[in-house]
C-alpha cells in the first residue's frame, strides 16, 4: 500500500472512467446552455453561516456533516456542502438582473458514512433560477433535468414530486405534525424519539423503518396547503403532464434542507439500491434570498450527483458515455522527430493522435499503440524515411483490454506519401 491514500469517502477518477464523468458534464452544459442558463463559478468555501443559515440550523447537513474550519485569519469557513446557498450568496452580493438563470458543476463536501454512492466529496451539477415565482419555471427546471437524463441514456428513473407549502400554511402543518409525533414519540427511531420536536419534518424524511411506519399514518401536507400553494402545485403538475413527463406524488418527500417552499422533487434511479437511489433533487426556496440578506426573491433549482448518475448508467449498461477511441497512434523508430511532426499535423487537422516517447523499441511502441485503443497506426521506419512515406494500417483492439504485443493487422495496410498522409487518414477515418 502506498504511503498516502485518498481520504476516506473520497475517490480518484482516472481514465477511462473520467471520460464518462466528462461526458455527463458536457451533456449537462449543453442541455442547460440551450435553455439560456449561464455558468457560475464561485469559491469552494464560504463563511460558515452562509450554509448554516441556508440549509437550516437543525439539519443533518449543518449539525453532522459540514466541514468547518478556521483559517489563519481566524475566520470560520465551511467547505461547500451543496450549491444553492453559494449561488444565492453570489446573487445577493452582485445583484444581477432577474431572471437570473445559473448552472454550476461543483464538488460538494459532506461528512457522511461512506458507502457505494455516498461519498464525503461528491460532485454536483445544478441549476438555480432566481427572481421567478411562476410555476412554469418549476416545470422548466424539472424538464431540463429529465431531458439531460435522457441524453445520458438513463431510462429506469422515476420523478417524485411534492409541495411543502409556504410560510402561510407550513407552520400550521408543522404544528399538526408535531402534535401527532408527540403522541407517537415512543415508536420513533432513537434519534427522532428525542429530537422530533426540533424539526418534525425530518421524521418524514427518516429512512428508519420505525419512523417510516409512524410517517405512513401522519397527517398529510396536501390537506394543509393554502389556496395559492395548491394552485401553484396544480399548475406544476399540469405543466409536467403537458410536457409528457411522468411523475408520482410522494407526500413524504420533504428533502433535507429547511429552505424549501412549495415544489420539491427528486429523481430516483430504479437501477440503484434504494438508500442511495436519488440521482438528483431540488425544489423551490422562496425565502432563501431574504434569509441571506437580499431582497424578497423567489428561487427554484436542483442538484444532481455525478457519481450516482454514473453508477446508474453502469447499472443500466449504457455505453454511449464512453470516450471516443483515439484515431491514430504514430509509431516512429527513426528517432522521434517524424512522430513529433506528424502527430502535431494530425491534431491540427482535428484527428486525435498520440505517439510513444523515449525512442522505445518497435515492439514496445506497438504495445502502447494497442493499449491506446487507436483505430489506425502510422508507422515510420528507415524505409519510410528514405522514401518520404508513411505506412498506415488498422489496429486490432486487444480483446478484453489485455496486453497483447504487436497485434497490428495487415488488413488495409498501405504506404502513403508523407505529404498526402493526413488527408488520406482523414478520408479513411470518415
Binding site for ligand HAM (CB under 6 A): 82-84, 110, 112, 117-119, 122, 124, 126, 128, 256, 278-283, 301-305, 307-308
258 vs 354, beta carbon nearer ligand HAM: 258
The residue with its CB nearest to ligand HAM is 305
How, if at all, do strands 414-417 and 389-394 pair? antiparallel
Closer residue to ligand HAM, CB minimum distance, 250 or 385: 250
Q: Min. distance of Cβ 291 from ligand HAM in angstroms?
A: 14
| Residue among 157 and 338 whose Cβ is closer to ligand HAM | 157
- Contact between residue 47 and residue 93 where contact means Cβ atoms under 8 Å apart: no
Q: Please, what is the minimum distance in Å from the beta carbon of residue 358 to ligand HAM?
A: 40
Element (H, E) at 128: strand 121-130
Question: Residues 53, 23: contact at Cβ < 8 Å?
Answer: no
Dihedral of CA 128/133/134/135: which sign? positive
Q: Which residue, 103 or 173, has its beta carbon nearer to ligand HAM? A: 103
Q: Tell the smallest beta-carbon distance from residue 270 to ligand HAM (Å).
A: 14
Residue 298 CB, nearest distance to ligand HAM (Å)?
Answer: 12
Nearer to ligand HAM, 99 or 398 (CB): 99
d(CA 236, CA 161): 10
In b/e form, how buried is each residue of 386-398, taking b as 16+ CB within 10 angstroms? eeebbbbbebeee
Asked if residues 301 and 127 have their Cβ atoms less than 8 Å apart, the reply is yes
Q: What is d(CA 53, CA 257) in angstroms, rounded to the nearest whole number? A: 10
Question: E-strand spans in 250-394?
Answer: 261-269, 278-284, 299-305, 328-332, 353-355, 376-380, 389-394
Residue 23 Cβ vs ligand HAM, minimum distance, rounded to whole Å: 17
Residue 122 or 262: the one with the smaller Cβ distance to ligand HAM is: 122
In angstroms, what is the minimal distance from the CB of 2 to ligand HAM? Answer: 24
User: Residue 281 and residue 113: Cα distance in Å, rounded?
Assistant: 20
Place of cell 449543518: 62
Distance CA 387, CA 384 (A): 5
Give the nearer residue to ligand HAM in terms of CB position, either 115 or 194: 115
322, 327, 330, 331: CA torsion to nearest 10? 70
Minimum CB distance to ligand HAM, residue 55 (Å): 8
- Nearest distance from C-beta of residue 317 to ligand HAM, angstroms: 20
Residue (200 or 282) nearer to ligand HAM, CB: 282
Which residues are 416's β-sheet partners?
390
Nearer to ligand HAM, 81 or 181 (CB): 81
Residue 274, Cα to own-chain centre: how many angstroms?
18
Query: And the C-alpha cell for 185?
Result: 414519540
Cα–Cα distance for residue pair 135/240, rounded to 1 Å? 11
Min CB(8)–ligand HAM separation in Å: 13
> In the beta sheet, which residues pair with residue 282?
265, 302
Amino acid at each position: 500500500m502506498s504511503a498516502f491514500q485518498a481520504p476516506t469517502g473520497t475517490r480518484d477518477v482516472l481514465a477511462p472512467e473520467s471520460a464518462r464523468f466528462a461526458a455527463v458534464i458536457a451533456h449537462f452544459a449543453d442541455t442547460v446552455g440551450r435553455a439560456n442558463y449561464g455558468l457560475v463559478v464561485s469559491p469552494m468555501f464560504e463563511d460558515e453561516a452562509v450554509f448554516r443559515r441556508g440549509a437550516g440550523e437543525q439539519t443533518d447537513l449543518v449539525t453532522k456533516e459540514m466541514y468547518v474550519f478556521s483559517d489563519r485569519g481566524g475566520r470560520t469557513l465551511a467547505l461547500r456542502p451543496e450549491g444553492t446557498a453559494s449561488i444565492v450568496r453570489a446573487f445577493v452580493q452582485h445583484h444581477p438582473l432577474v431572471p437570473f438563470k445559473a448552472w454550476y458543476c461543483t464538488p460538494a463536501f459532506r461528512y457522511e458514512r461512506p458507502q457505494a454512492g455516498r461519498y464525503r466529496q461528491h460532485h454536483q451539477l445544478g441549476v438555480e433560477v432566481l427572481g421567478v415565482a411562476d410555476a412554469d419555471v418549476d416545470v422548466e427546471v424539472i424538464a431540463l433535468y429529465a431531458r439531460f437524463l435522457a441524453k445520458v441514456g438513463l431510462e429506469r428513473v422515476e420523478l417524485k414530486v411534492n409541495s411543502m407549502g409556504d410560510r402561510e400554511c407550513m407552520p400550521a402543518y408543522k404544528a399538526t405534525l408535531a402534535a401527532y409525533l408527540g403522541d407517537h414519540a415512543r415508536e420513533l427511531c432513537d434519534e427522532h424519539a428525542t429530537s422530533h420536536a426540533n424539526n418534525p419534518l425530518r421524521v418524514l424524511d427518516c429512512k428508519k423503518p420505525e419512523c417510516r411506519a409512524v410517517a405512513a399514518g401522519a397527517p398529510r401536507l396536501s390537506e394543509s396547503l393554502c389556496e395559492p400553494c395548491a394552485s401553484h402545485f396544480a399548475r406544476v403538475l399540469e405543466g409536467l403532464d403537458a410536457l409528457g413527463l411522468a411523475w408520482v406524488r410522494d407526500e413524504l418527500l420533504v428533502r433535507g434542507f429547511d429552505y424549501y417552499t412549495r415544489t420539491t422533487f427528486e429523481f430516483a434511479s430504479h437501477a440503484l439500491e434504494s438508500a442511495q437511489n436519488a440521482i438528483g433533487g431540488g425544489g423551490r426556496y422562496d425565502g432563501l434570498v431574504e434569509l441571506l440578506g437580499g431582497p424578497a426573491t423567489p428561487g427554484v433549482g436542483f442538484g444532481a450527483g455525478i457519481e450516482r448518475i454514473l453508477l446508474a448508467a453502469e447499472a443500466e449498461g449504457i455505453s454511449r458515455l464512453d470516450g471516443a477511441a483515439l484515431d491514430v497512434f504514430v509509431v516512429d523508430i527513426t528517432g522521434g522527430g517524424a512522430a513529433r511532426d506528424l502527430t502535431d499535423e494530425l491534431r491540427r487537422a482535428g484527428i486525435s493522435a498520440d505517439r510513444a516517447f523515449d525512442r522505445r523499441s518497435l515492439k514496445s511502441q506497438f504495445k502502447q499503440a494497442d493499449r491506446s485503443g487507436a483505430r489506425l497506426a502510422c508507422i515510420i521506419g528507415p524505409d519510410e524515411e528514405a522514401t518520404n512515406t508513411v505506412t498506415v494500417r488498422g489496429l486490432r483492439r486487444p480483446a478484453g483490454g489485455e496486453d497483447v504485443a504487436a497485434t497490428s493487422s495487415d488488413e488495409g495496410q498501405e504506404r502513403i506519401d508523407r505529404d498526402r498522409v493526413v488527408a488520406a487518414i482523414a478520408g479513411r477515418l470518415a
